[in-house]
Amino acid sequence: MLKGIPKILSPELLKVLCEMGHGDSIVIADGNFPAESVGRNAKVIRMDGHGTCELLEAILKLFPLDTYVDHPVQLMQVVPGDKVETPIWDEYVNIIRKYDDRGSSAVSHVERFRFYEEARNAYAIIATGESALYANIMLKKGVVV
C-alpha cells in the first residue's frame, strides 16, 4: 500500500502510467469496446468491475494531460443516426476541469473508426465494465513538472 494513491489504481495500472512518456495515449474503454482486438499491440488492463468516471478521476490525480496539443482528451463521436444520449461526457468534463484549466476545450470528438485507429496506437487500453454508451475516452500524457 502507498499513501496518496487512489485505491482503484492497481499495481499493474500504476506501472503502466509510470512507464508512459510524454505524448503516449491511454484509452479508458467502456464495456462494449473491443479492447482485446484493438489493443492487440498495446497493454490491455482488465478492470471489468469499475466504471470509466472513477478511473478517469483516479488517473488524472497522477497523470498530466499534454499541454502541447489542443485536445489531449478524445471521445468517440456518436455515429450519425444513433439516437443516444451521452450524459457521461458532462461527467468527464467536470472531472477534467478539476485537473486541467482547459476544461471542455481540452476535449475533442473523434469519428468512431478513427478513434479505433488511434486506439490501436495507444500505449495501453483499460477495459472497464462501464455500461454507458459512447463512454470511451483517450488521454494523451503530458510532462510532469
Contact 95, 53 (CB under 8 A): yes
The gap between the terminal CA atoms of the chain, to the nearest Å, is: 25
Contacts of 40 (CB under 8 A, 6+ apart): 120
Contact 18, 9 (CB under 8 A): no
Annotation says 116 is catalytic = yes
* The amino acid at 120: R
Distances (CA, A) of 125 to 3, 7, 16, 58: 25, 19, 10, 15
The catalytic residue among 24, 71, 109, 116 is 116
The catalytic residue among 30, 66, 92, 123 is 66
Annotation says 22 is catalytic = yes
And the C-alpha cell for 129?
465494465
The catalytic residue among 22, 68, 82, 90 is 22
Among 54, 125, 62, residue whose Cα is nearest residue 91: 54
- 99 vs 40: CA distance, rounded Å: 30
Which positions are annotated as active-site residues? 22, 66, 116
